Amino acid sequence: MANNLLEINDLTVTYGDFKIITEVSFAMKPGEIVCIAGESGCGKSTLIKAVLGIKQLGAHIKKGSIVLDGRDITHLGVEERRQILGTQIGYVPQNTRGSFNNIRSYDVQYQEAMRSHNKKFNRVEAIKCFDRLNFPDSDKLLAYQPWEMSGGMNQRMAIALAVLLGPKLMLCDEATSVLDVTSQKEVIEELAKLRNELGWSILFITHNLGVASHIADKLGVMYAGRMVEYGDIRKVLDDPIHPYTRKLLAAIPGKDRKLPVGLEGRPPLDGAEWEGCNFVPRCEYCTDSCKTRPYKLQEIVPGHYASCTSGRSV
């Protein structure tokens, strides 16, 4: 498939000597929203760090490759990397309070960001962009300083900045998880709108499957450093194959107002280092062979991959 925007092949990422992600592969087409979901410590944020590739973040790519629009960006130099960040890869972090300087106006900070990417800052264009995103008081927004804004508005300003820079690929790392539910919904709707109008591609990392189900086209479920299931969102949610995905879905409070069902224990910290399946200690279907059978993501149904099919109801 030549027309993939982002291809991640067999990616293994380490922090120091410690493996965080093993053998993750997936591909994204232009205009797609891909969600990677999983619980804390599953390596989903590390995945974003690997794509951003900033050395200071500590993530080190040991094996595999990351291909953006046909170009291998796995081992780019600092200067080349700087050129693609922002203009080709945009990034919305979890905590935008920390990524804007709290006591300088958005105006100054927008200018700075644009200038560092050799782009001209045009106030009229910025305000047009705010209008398109339905921001209230769009003509006054630039004069504000981040501390005067709510967390949700701040997050939306970060998205607007990313829009102005016009990247091909947006990376969102838990971009809505610190927000209140009402602002979360606004941000989600904005992102979906941007995809529809501008043909954005978004890689969205979240622990909230509810959020994923509202915007994603494809869904990947990660567990202890491995991708255990990947496929079209409807296929994964309607017919979850991996035992972990089913457990995860059962743990979410649903519309039926029935008490959610939990999952005892926690993921193994060194799960990415294991040879066999690392869900074994918490799995009700596991057999002895699971402990030794090497991890492999298989295409079970066309467009729907999983590393295990135990206990699947057909």
Which residues of this chain interact with another protein, rule CB under 8 A? 16-18, 39-40, 180-182, 184-185, 188, 207-211, 213-214, 237, 247-255, 257-264, 266, 273-275
Q: How far is the CB of 76 from another protein (least distance, A)?
A: 27
Minimum Å gap between C-beta 265 and another protein is 9
C-alpha dihedral, 178 to 94 to 25 to 234, nearest 10°: 40
The residue among 109 and 245 lying less far from another protein, judged by its C-beta, is: 245
Decide whether 152 or 167 has the Cβ nearer to another protein.
Answer: 152
**Minimum CB distance to another protein, residue 241 (Å):** 16
Least Cα distance to 22 among 256, 230, 218, 273 occurs for: 273
> To the nearest whole angstrom, how small is the minimum distance from the Cβ of residue 197 to another protein?
22
Alpha-carbon span 227 to 307, nearest angstrom: 8
228 touches 308 (CB < 8 A):
yes
- CB nearer another protein, residue 55 or residue 257: 257
Please state the closest distance from residue 8 (CB atom) to another protein, in A: 24
Q: Which is nearer to another protein, 127 or 178 (CB)?
A: 178
Nearer to another protein, 114 or 211 (CB): 211
Q: Do residues 126 and 110 lie in contact, with contact meaning Cβ atoms separated by under 8 Å?
A: yes
CA 50 to CA 20: how far, in whole Å? 11
Determine the Cα angle at 253 with ends 196 and 192, to 5°.
5
